[in-house]
Each structure stands twice: as C-alpha cells, then as structure tokens.
Amino acid sequence: MEKEVRERIIALLKREVVPAIGCTEPMAVALCTSKAKEILGEMPVGIEVRLSPNILKNAMGVGVPGTGMVGLPIAVALGAIVGKSEYGLEVLKDIMPEAVAEGRSMIESGAINIGLKQGVHEKLYIEVICTAADGRKATARIAHTHTNFVGDEWQDSSVESEQIDEDALSLRLVYDFATTAPIEEIEFINEAARMNEKAAQAALKGNYGHDLGKTLSRPLGIGIMGNSIFSHILSATSAACDARMAGAMIPVMSNSGSGNQGIAATMPVVVFARENHNTDEELTRALILSHLTAIYVKESLGRLSALCGCVVAATGSSCGITYLMGGKYEHVSYSVKNMIANLAGMVCDGAKPSCALKVSSGVSTAVLSAMLAIQNRYVTSVEGLIDDDVDKSIHNLTKIGHDGMDETDRIVLDIMTSK
C-alpha cells in the first residue's frame, strides 16, 4: 500500500479515535458552552442552548462525570464555569466540588434554557448563546462532529456533511491496511487498549449503573455463563460502559465521537487476544481492523442515527476477533455479513446506563459471528439485507439506519420527552 494512502488513513484514525471523559453528547454541549463563554470573555448571566433532536436524545439520561447528576443542565453550567475548549471532549476534566455547587446554583437561578433547534436537519448540531450582564451576546456552534466548531456562514448540508471522503474506504482497504501497514506506524492504537482496559478494571471495583460487568464476573455470572473467554469479554466490555454511562470520572478512548463505540471496538479484541495467546503485533493489527471498520461503517451511517452505535462498533470487534482466530479477508467479510443479518434495526433510545446491556448484546453477537465466519458459515445474499458484495451489505445497513429509521428516531424522542 502506498505511503500516502497509509498516511491519510492514519490521520483519519487519529482524528476519530480520541480520549473522552463522560458521554460525548453532553460533553460536546459543555464544549460548545465553554467556547461561547470564552468568546463572551466573562461569566454569562444567561445561557440559551438549542440542539438537534439526536443530541438532545443522547444527553438526557446520562451521568455527567464528577457531579452525581444526570442530564444537560449541569453539563451546560460546568461548561461555562470550568470548561476549556482546548481540552476537546475532556472539556470538564478540571471539575472540582465547588464548581458543581456553583453549577447547581446556576441551574436553580433559571439562567439556563435548553430546547430543540427548529428547522435544522443536521443530526449533530449544537448552538449556545451566552449573554453578559450588559446584554452582549456571544454564540458558538458545533456541527457534523462533536468537536467541529462552525461559523455564522454555516449552512445545514444534512447527509453530505456527515460523510468522510478520505481514502474512499472499503472493507478490503481496511483489511489490507490493518494487516500490512508497518507495525511502527500503527502502534499508537495500543493506547486505546491501555485506556479502555484501565476503565474496565476501575469499573469492576466500584458500583456503576446496572453493574452488568460485575454481575457477569461474580460467581452467579460464572455459574451461568461459564468461566470463559466469552464471559470475560462481556464482563470487561459492559463494565467500562457501566462506569461511563453512570458519569464516572474515568477517561476512555472513543471511536467516531462515541466512548461506548470505542469501548466496544476495543475490549472484546483485547480480552480475546490475551486469553487466546495472540502476539502483541496480532493484537495491534486486530485493534486497527476493529476501529477502522467501525469508522468505515460510520462513514455512510452518519455521526448520530436511530441505529444503536454498538452495532457498528461490535461489527468492528467481530472483524478483529475473526482475524485473531486466524481468519483471512474472506472470513472477516463473513463476520460482517453475520453481524448485519443479526443486529440490523437495534434502536438507539439515548445514552443511559442500560447502554451496557446493548453493548453486551452487540459484543456477544460479535463473538458468535466470528465463530461462524472462521468455519466459513455466513448469511447469504438470498437472506434479507445481505448482498454478495460485503460493502453493499454494509451500505444496506447504513441506509436503513440513516434514512429508513428517521421516523423511528422522531417517535423515540417523543416518547422520551413525554414521560
């Protein structure tokens, strides 16, 4: 593979696989608030936040790290009080208890107003207007991706804005890059393994969310699931998700703007490689294959959608596990087809503690799909969404997630906001 192509893919990976603290949607809103406050140059007396429906959906029920609180108001308040836009998705890493107390007071004062942005078709859109005591206003906007600030000239370009056109990715290109790139060029991905495994280990020592990870690692879980690679994969992956959705102050490595996707693309591969006694190089290449596959699928699905992101990330980890089993490109393509046939249509109903259950479902299917694929068993083109061409199968999935489930997205948000 030409060096120029490798360099573009590496740049893409480094842009999409980045550290994050807390759920990326409220963190992105906090980030936008911090930028508006910085533009204003002083602490605002009023903050107006207008969001696309998908941002609102994904930020309503998730814990904000270091606060013990759930939802957007505290994220907005802390974005103004301690947020620094230079930190990106780690915008609130300087949080202290006194800042949380100040944030509570700001919320109680009625200074924060949050609502939907009318007329916007972009699925990821954040607009924050900060008002000073003398009436001056400052506005910041984020669109397309969680850290992409846009100016006054921004126009909603809907589908096109969500595309990543670098390198015209295909599964074949993803596989070839992962398996042939010089190892020293791709070892940076091992930081995802270190960071997300550390998050999983920390989660297993505490009590977070539904404690799915700990439940699967306790005697009851071992008795039912077996003391196996499979149960260990589920426990480690769901534990990291438990902590993240509960608002633990634990950084994770995200993928395509989602910490849960970063966890699901990393931990199954790490646990399998360790217990299958794969080499360090094999693990590195499997992680690249997993993360880059997830990025590729997201390319046509869009940053946010009604399709649960665990489907995307678990498809990546299934590819990585298949490779660690000794699979070649054909087997990896089989695992993708098996994943699409099984998980297409899993609905995203916002970020929340129960995401750990969906992640667990996704990665359990990843293992199943890899097991079938390595034995040359896969869903064929006479069945449902699957095409003989694996890339067409991927685009069949993303077409449903991006276009076909738009009404589902609207109904889900209506249900969530009407309770």
pLDDT in the model for residue 215 = 86
* Phi, psi angles (nearest 5°) of residue 125: -145, 130
Whole-number Å distance between alpha carbons of 265 and 175: 15
Query: Two tokens at 45?
Result: 């007396």
* Residue from 404, 248, 230, 395 nearest 317 by CA: 230
* Residue from 9, 324, 352 nearest 174 by CA: 9
CA 209 from chain centre, in angstroms, equals: 18
Stretches where the chain sits below pLDDT 70 are 153-167, 218-224
pLDDT in the model for residue 115 = 94
pLDDT in the model for residue 159 = 37
pLDDT in the model for residue 219 = 55
pLDDT in the model for residue 62 = 87
DSSP state of 307: B
Sorted by sequence, the CB contacts under 8 Å of residue 15 that are 6+ apart come out as none
pLDDT in the model for residue 164 = 41
pLDDT in tens, 43-75: 999 999 999 999 998 888 888 988 989 889 999
* Residue from 291, 299, 310 nearest 351 by CA: 310
pLDDT in the model for residue 163 = 41
pLDDT in the model for residue 158 = 43
Q: Alpha carbon of 389 to those of 336, 370, 403: distances in Å?
A: 11, 18, 21
Q: Would the pTM of this model clear 0.85, i.e. be above it?
A: yes
pLDDT in the model for residue 155 = 58
pLDDT in tens, 108-154: 999 999 999 998 888 899 999 999 999 999 999 999 989 999 987 66
Contact 65, 248 (CB under 8 A): yes
pLDDT in the model for residue 217 = 78
Place of tokens 């039912």: 224
Query: Two tokens at 77?
Result: 């308040």
Whole-number Å distance between alpha carbons of 73 and 358: 26
